[in-house]
Amino acid sequence: MRRKFPQLVCGLIGLLLFVVYFSRHPIASSINETVTREYWQIVFAFALLVGVVSFAKINLQGIERGEDRLYRIISLVGLISMPVLALIWGIGTGSPFMWVFDNVQVPMQSTVFALLAFFVASASLRGFRARSGPAFILLLAAMVALISRSDVGDLMSARFSDFAEWIRSNPSMSARRAILIGIGLGSLTTSLRVLLGLERTWLGKESK
């Protein structure tokens, strides 16, 4: 029963959502909206609570053991202070919540994102080595794409940009679409396996 009931609910809701997707009747739209938005938000809110409790528990245990104590305290202060600031002063422009968001969270996120530039450079150095014929062609295509998108590309002939665009929209797009077809079919069969109850890993599988 512990597995049968969730499986049954999953199958029925899946079938219902499949049917309403192909309908434009107001009742179908309303069911779609209720299940995919409202129910999902309720489920997520409860799950978020579980996540926050887990986060707090792990960090409190870390503080007790003396592991990275300062960082863990900062994490917990951040976790508690943001909802408190939002509850007391709101989240409008000029509120303390927005000040912390704009001056602490956004710069930290930008810093992590900026790391990407360095990682792209180091990964390219390893990836674009002409060790074989296909690797050499890949290197050439990458160089053409890079140059066409930079300021140097603007100074070159229009035919160069056209050639770069041709690479992007023909050989590159063909390979991408082939992968996308495989992903689409894989998603379809995985979803069907879940709805039919053939795939039960998400329930934790059965113990032998």
Partner 1 sequence: MSLVSAVLISTAWIDPDRLPVLICGLVAIGIVLYTTFWRRGQERARMREIPGLKAVEEAIGRATEMARPILYTPGWGGDIQRPTTIASLNILSHVADKTAQYDCQLVYPTHDPVIMTVAQEVVRESYARAGCEDRFREDDIRYVSSSQFGYAAAVDGLISRLQPASIFLLGTFEAESLILAETGNSVGAIQIAGTDSTIQLSFFIVACDYTLIGEELFAASGYLSGDASILASVRAQDSLKVLIVVFLVLATIWATIAPDSSWWRF
| Interaction site with partner 1 (CB under 8 A) | 21-25, 28, 40, 43-44, 47-52, 54-55, 57-58, 61, 68, 105, 108-109, 112-113, 115-116, 119-120, 122-124, 126-127, 176, 179-183, 185-194, 196, 198-199, 201-208
Residue with smaller CB distance to partner 1, 150 or 174 = 174
Q: How far is the CB of 157 from partner 1 (least distance, A)?
A: 27
* Closer Cβ to partner 1, 57 or 156, answer by number: 57
Contact 73, 63 (CB under 8 A): yes
CB of 6 to partner 1, least distance (A): 11
Residues in the chain: 208
Computed over its alpha carbons, how large is the radius of gyration of the chain? 26
- CB of 178: closest distance to partner 1 in angstroms? 8
Taking the complex as a whole, how short is the minimal distance between the CB of residue 43 and partner 1, in angstroms? 7
Q: Which two tokens stand for residue 55?
A: 């986060």
* CB closer to partner 1, 77 vs 123: 123
DSSP assignment of 80-129, as one string? HHHHHHHHHH-SSTTSHHHHHIIIIIHHHHHHHHHHHHHHHHHHHHHH--
Closer residue to partner 1 in complex, CB, 150/172: 172
Output 156 or 196, the one with its CB closest to partner 1.
Answer: 196
86, burial (CB in 10 Å: exposed 0-12, middle 13-18, buried 19+)? middle
Q: Rounded CA gap, 204 and 208, in Å? A: 12
Q: Which residue, among 85, 56, 59, has the nearest Cα to 71 in the 3D structure?
A: 59
Alpha carbons 161 and 167: distance in angstroms, whole number = 10
Cβ at position 79, least distance to partner 1 in Å: 10
